Structure 1
Amino acid sequence: MIFVKQFGAILLICLFSVTKNFSQQRFQVKSGIPLDSIRLSDPSVLADKNTQMYYMTGTGGLLWKSKDLEYWEGPYHVAKTNPDSWMGEKPMIWAAELHQYKNKYYYFATFTNRDVKIDTVAGNIIERRASHVLVSDKPEGPYMPMADRTYLPANKPTLDGTLWVDMNGKPYMVYCYEWLQNGNGTMEKIELKSDLSGSLGEGELLFKASDSPWSREKDSQGNDKPNKVTDGPYLFRTGTGRLGMIWTSWIYNVYTQGVAYSKSGTLDGPWDQAKNPITPPNFGHGMLFETFEGKTLMAVHSHKKVNDRTIRIPHLFEVDLTGDKLKVIKPFKF
């Protein structure tokens, strides 16, 4: 799962270890910051045609903006939560995404209230965590709560919600039900109201972490088995109209991203998991966007240990979607 980080040196601004006071910290806004100088988990980029600006979010509740993807300005605080809601006064914020939908902008993110415990499994205390949606009239925010205080069940830890609108114009949130409680993470969907202000009905299973042929881990006896983690879903269509989903898990201790394709062309699947990962080792939690010049890019973060410290840096890869499958071509060069 994604983790949150500590703020480091001035050019290495952003996220690191989230404390209860994280959302109240104030960072100095800087401009001309190279992309690879930002420390950021789960980067997500909105290419906003109205402002001709790129907006990047991720874990930590902050926003960066850029005209050219190479140099960035920020960070800005944009998420405004309700302290009287289930999130509490200072929720942790993970894996935020921005989506433009029906002339408004929506902030899909995972919020955690560390003061509320919902379960204990195998000795692990599970905190109140869920995917949720905020709204704004502008891409730079601020993003505010909407009508429904709860999108997903209070007794389940959910994360990494993303938006998908089907061929009939019906919006859905696709999200992960966390392995910490169910032991085998799942990918699920839930229908959203037409203005995204709440959810309708109950979540439905799309696939399980164990369905992946490439993710691996060892059980308590050292036996090899599929990994239990589902992380970072993002949906797309290929040039032939095929529905796909990139998502992330692990190969032992290596953070890895794979892809699945729906045989029916809808969220209902069944979902066919590709045999091999699609990005190099230690890259994951990807999303796709199109530049103002019409090039499709994938935003991911690298994930590695340096002197017992986990470092996460946003990266861009060129992607080919013109055929029947997603192909990651090469790192994007500015």
Structure 2
Amino acid sequence: MIVKPHRYFSVFVSFLWITLCIGQKGNIKKNIPLDSIRLSDPYILTDIKTQMYYMTGTGGKLWKSKDLKFWEGPYVVAKTNPKSWMGENPMIWAAELHQYKNKYYYFATFTNKNIKIDTVSDNIIDRRASHILVSNTPDGSYIPMKDEIYLPADKPTLDGTFWIDTNNKPYMVYCYEWLQNGNGTIEKIELKPDLSGSVGEGKLLFKASDSPWSKDKNENGNIVAHKVTDGPFLFRTGTNRLGMIWTSWQFDIYVQGVAYSESGTLDGPWIHEKELITPANFGHGMLFKTFEGKTLMAIHSHKKVAERNIRIPHIFEVDLSGDKLVVGKIHKP
């Protein structure tokens, strides 16, 4: 039986707070340069109240910095319910931090490898979904809210991000994974006003195959569209144009492109730029502003070294003043 999170909070949070305090002693590092951190899918929150930058990503742990140059961490901040569908020790991918209506929200992908939801071809698909936790402070702890499920239990979803559309309603924008549907999609679902659950069903925004730059080879060696959608992030340009960066592959190279909505809303239609927006082997980016008001992009590099996949967070300078996002050089704090 799944325990309702709101009935479980008092005992659950007290226990995990004690565990958190014990588990972090002696494990926190200080004055760590950004390029010395190993982290996929970096996401940086600029918090005016604490005058601190908070960074998270895959693995779900938290780093903090005053200057973007040196970082302290990693802190454990996500507190899931072990009796929920996530299980006792879920994998956490692509965590994000969002401030909204005086609270802080933790969007992340949780995977329970003990539950299998489907088998497609040779792919056994684990129970995986985008979900949202909440906290009163940016450094957590982040705990479950009312709804135990935001997205269908029989579909693998990932990389949920946050957007307020022109109708002033909150949405989660997420990927429906190619492992099951054969052609990864990016979709939206409306959220409750306090983000404690979802409303209605997801709606398709576009497919991986809609992009002119995501490419692969089929079993016959012919060039076809790639199947993967990964890491959506929404923004507006200086001319109020709605854009979305997202990541896929060009054969075996990790790449990121951009699409723009012709309607200026999530409903699109979404028109994909022909050229990549960032250098090859960089992907899963997001945009944030510094305390000085400068817009930057957090992103990770993706490469293999001695048969190991190495993923390192970086920060790029960007220009949003015109009609399009222009990515510049790597930022040096």
Report the Cα distance in structure 2 between the residues aligned to 1:144 and 1:82, rounded to whole angstroms: 8
Report the Cα distance in structure 1 between the residues aligned to 2:133 and 2:174, rounded to whole angstroms: 16
Equivalent residue letter for 2:144: P
How far off its partner does 1:330 sit? 1.0
Matching of residue 56 in structure 1 with residue 55 in structure 2: yes
Matching of residue 259 in structure 1 with residue 258 in structure 2: yes
How far off its partner does 1:222 sit? 1.2
Corresponding residue number in structure 1 for 2:301: 302
> Cα distance 1:168–1:322, how it changes in 2: closer, same or farther (>3 A)?
same
Matching of residue 68 in structure 1 with residue 67 in structure 2: yes
Equivalent residue letter for 2:108: A
Partner secondary structure for residue 98 of structure 2: strand
Report the Cα distance in structure 2 between the residues aligned to 1:62 and 1:275, rounded to whole angstroms: 35
Partner secondary structure for residue 233 of structure 2: strand
The aligned runs of 1:126-165 (5 Å cut-off) are 126-165=125-164
Report the Cα distance in structure 1 between the residues aligned to 2:176 and 2:33, rounded to whole angstroms: 34
Corresponding residue number in structure 2 for 1:6: none
Equivalent residue letter for 1:174: V
Partner secondary structure for residue 195 of structure 1: coil
Equivalent residue letter for 1:195: D
Corresponding residue number in structure 2 for 1:111: 110
How far off its partner does 1:25 sit? 7.3
- Deviation per CA, 1:48-98: give whole Å up to 9, x if none: 001000000000020000000000000000000001110001000000000
How far off its partner does 1:251 sit? 0.4
Corresponding residue number in structure 2 for 1:121: 120
RMSD of aligned residue pairs (Cα, Å) = 1.0
How far off its partner does 1:125 sit? 0.4
Equivalent residue letter for 2:153: A
- Deviation per CA, 1:1-32: give whole Å up to 9, x if none: xxxxxxxxxxxxxxxxxxxxxxx975710110
Matching of residue 186 in structure 1 with residue 173 in structure 2: no
Partner secondary structure for residue 209 of structure 2: helix
Structure 1 runs of 4+ aligned residues shifted over 2 Å read 24-27
- Deviation per CA, 1:293-322: give whole Å up to 9, x if none: 111000000000111111000000001001
Equivalent residue letter for 1:84: K
Report the Cα distance in structure 2 between the residues aligned to 1:290 and 1:61, rounded to whole angstroms: 22
Corresponding residue number in structure 2 for 1:9: none
Partner secondary structure for residue 143 of structure 2: coil
Report the Cα distance in structure 1 between the residues aligned to 2:127 and 2:47, rounded to whole angstroms: 33
> Cα distance 1:84–1:289, how it changes in 2: closer, same or farther (>3 A)?
same
> Cα distance 1:273–1:307, how it changes in 2: closer, same or farther (>3 A)?
same
Equivalent residue letter for 1:159: L
Corresponding residue number in structure 2 for 1:17: none
Report the Cα distance in structure 2 between the residues aligned to 1:323 and 1:329, rounded to whole angstroms: 14
The aligned runs of 1:184-263 (5 Å cut-off) are 184-263=183-262
Corresponding residue number in structure 2 for 1:176: 175
- Deviation per CA, 1:232-263: give whole Å up to 9, x if none: 00000000000000000000010000000000
Equivalent residue letter for 1:199: S
- Deviation per CA, 1:186-239: give whole Å up to 9, x if none: 000000000000000000000000000011101111111011000000000000
TM-score when scaled to structure 1? 0.92
Corresponding residue number in structure 2 for 1:323: 322
How far off its partner does 1:123 sit? 1.5
Report the Cα distance in structure 1 between the residues aligned to 2:38 and 2:316, rounded to whole angstroms: 17
Report the Cα distance in structure 2 between the residues aligned to 1:106 and 1:63, rounded to whole angstroms: 13
Partner secondary structure for residue 277 of structure 1: coil
Corresponding residue number in structure 1 for 2:28: 29
Report the Cα distance in structure 2 between the residues aligned to 1:174 and 1:109, rounded to whole angstroms: 12
Comparing both structures, which one devotes a greater share of its residues to helix?
2
Equivalent residue letter for 2:175: C
Report the Cα distance in structure 2 between the residues aligned to 1:194 and 1:93, rounded to whole angstroms: 25
Report the Cα distance in structure 2 between the residues aligned to 1:165 and 1:140, rounded to whole angstroms: 23
Report the Cα distance in structure 1 between the residues aligned to 2:270 and 2:167, rounded to whole angstroms: 20
Report the Cα distance in structure 1 between the residues aligned to 2:30 and 2:178, rounded to whole angstroms: 39
TM-score when scaled to structure 2? 0.92
Matching of residue 98 in structure 1 with residue 97 in structure 2: yes
Corresponding residue number in structure 2 for 1:292: 291
Partner secondary structure for residue 135 of structure 1: strand
Equivalent residue letter for 1:47: T
Structure 2 unaligned spans of 5+: 1-21
Count of paired positions: 311
How far off its partner does 1:168 sit? 2.8
Corresponding residue number in structure 2 for 1:10: none
Corresponding residue number in structure 1 for 2:78: 79
Report the Cα distance in structure 1 between the residues aligned to 2:244 and 2:23, rounded to whole angstroms: 35
How far off its partner does 1:166 sit? 1.2
